[in-house]
Chain A
């Protein structure tokens, strides 16, 4: 039985879209706020004021990266909370209205959206948003469109600018027709900051969710960008922190950690983009030489750290366990795909059969991934399939 696993065996982590390790420099920035500078930033004494000014500095740092004002940023506990605050916040204010979202959105968008009148925007078999379908589905009662920046499963980079253009056109028409209903564009950008620019005016977004846990910051950290004038009804009420939108004692360690991780991601973005692109395109080429393997998702406009493949006749869970045994960590299309559970809705949306979904794995690489890691992965995969 060839099941030898040495404790000293190296491990290769290829699931950066699920979680990233906390950067050591980020950790150092965080530590004082967990111990000696523990004060509630909203208290009145000097020490607390000093913590508050650090929090505000973090807000400014983030605003610079987004090209926004700092009062347009509220701190959250990450992607799920940001999406909930944005979607429920808008929809609760306009209960008679409806919203649209891309069929490939994360569950943290789809689940809150399902509380309200909603429609799904179709995607092509490569996962590209169908802009005509979007145009057709926006009606006079549509108040919100939610389109993610980078898809977490198949790496599609959505052209938010094109979406924003359609939305602007609708706004102009509404102004002419004296329809006072606003139309907002929300984007879940959890997977984007390591790879792409976040300048909100260029993207044309009114609401944008950011998540520290995917950018080498602390888990359960993040922010929501809210363009001035975008009215949200708070869904977490209490002491009125964060402009009343997100009550609860601020978490300075996570806020500062998040800001530092976002700065670092922004600084490294250009060089990482190229490095990751070279690594993935090289691996994709090799993988596609095998006739059993096909690529899920687009070849162009794809996140440089994402590979999602279908391997003919190979059960993904079994393959993941076998790779794990060899020290390699990858993901199935979605985190839960046990037999009686629904296969990935993203793969379904691009037209993959449930059977093919269960033959699909996601490889997502990051800062610590090397060429050698991917060579080892490739060789091991070829042995196993």
Chain B
């Protein structure tokens, strides 16, 4: 009996090639489009229908069954509202990590299993060996950072075949398989926001923000910002102060609606030797020796830095870095690696 695999088809090239490769490898493949978001933002049309049609077209060309799972309600409450709440509280959450945790590797996984699948597959650049989450061969595209909160159970039953390829080879494969998505542009930014910038999205959802002061290290007011929620620690652009050295955001006070900046690139407010994590989550059971020899990534595609994790309890811990890291942002994830394996992570406080 062929194993039944449900592939998440997004309408993009990566998931299309995933389905084609698995079919070629002899799996019984079903394509599933997850409808997570369909709302237009004024001035920007949501591309969901186009993506849906591309996904269905790929399924037709590969001659595999096609389904749609509608997770729009769940996505709204578990991913979008989570993100908006974070921004309102002055932190910068990562909705892609939340989407993987709550939607793709939970709801999609469960629905596929209920519908009779043996395995699921996604078009992520990562590899899974014996349930271990490993770096993609194309290190430049590696997406393990976004996957560290997936459930262990789901990863044991997940295939990510394009983790074995470089992006350019994936496009070549798409051409070889005659997939119409071969030349389709990669989606950029946060998946549901599409072409809309995060600023436009926040304004649309939360309304126009009150302007407030931009304040330097000495408490001097330098100018006015359009709303503290739009600013992220380490951000260099968009302060509209002008002249002289560039300014960097080093902090903000949501209650006072103030944004704090510095021109001092080596300010200890920007560079950290250690930081606190909450909501720790592990894909592997780590021993004390492992915890002392981790590597950490604090942003998608950032370099790995050697570190030690000192657990305070099940949920919280302190990361002690071998070399300092710039611009840690509350709400973002710090993800741990041990010998090219993604082993877990937590949320920066």
Contacts and interface: CB of A to CB of B under 8 A. Distances in A.
Contacts of A324: 57
B177 interface: yes
A321 B24 contact: no
B68 A339 contact: yes
A258 B20 CA distance: 47
A349 to B, nearest CB: 24
B68 A3 contact: no
7 residue pairs, one from A and one from B, having the closest CB atoms = A321-B60, A321-B57, A3-B178, A318-B60, A322-B60, A339-B68, A5-B178
A98 to B, nearest CB: 33
Given A3-B61, A3-B177, A5-B178, A340 B23 contact: no
Given A322-B60, A339-B52, 9 more contacts: A1-B63, A3-B61, A3-B62, A318-B60, A318-B66, A325-B61, A336-B49, A339-B68, A340-B35
A336 B50 CA distance: 11
Nearest to A318: B60
A319 B57 CA distance: 9
Contact of B60 (A5, A325, A339): A325
Contact of A317 (B23, B24, B56, B178): B56
A361 B218 CA distance: 71
Highest count of chain A CB atoms <10 Å: which of B35, B53, B61, B62: B61
B62 A1 contact: yes
B56 A340 contact: no
Contacts of A177: none
A338 B49 contact: yes
Given A4-B178, A5-B178, A318 B35 contact: no
Contacts of A325: 60-61, 178
Interface size band for A: 10 to 19
Nearest to B58: A321
29 contacts: A1-B20, A1-B23, A1-B62, A1-B63, A1-B177, A2-B63, A3-B61, A3-B177, A3-B178, A4-B178, A315-B66, A317-B60, A318-B56, A318-B59, A318-B60, A318-B66, A320-B60, A321-B56, A321-B57, A321-B59, A322-B61, A322-B63, A325-B61, A325-B178, A338-B52, A339-B52, A339-B68, A340-B35, A340-B70
Contacts of A319: 60
Nearest to A3: B178
Highest count of chain A CB atoms <10 Å: which of B49, B57, B70: B57
A320 B63 CA distance: 12
Contacts of A322: 60-61, 63
A30 to B, nearest CB: 32
Contacts of B24: 1
A317 B57 CA distance: 8
A281 to B, nearest CB: 30
A338 B54 CA distance: 11
A321 B66 CA distance: 12
A221 B68 CA distance: 39
Contact of A321 (B20, B61, B177): B61
Highest count of chain A CB atoms <10 Å: which of B53, B57, B60, B70: B60
B264 to A, nearest CB: 53
B146 to A, nearest CB: 27
A307 to B, nearest CB: 21
B73 to A, nearest CB: 13
A4 B23 CA distance: 16
Contacts of A3: 61-62, 177-178
A181 B297 CA distance: 77
B16 to A, nearest CB: 12
A338 B55 CA distance: 12
Interface in A327-370: 336, 338-340
Highest count of chain B CB atoms <10 Å: which of A320, A336, A338: A338
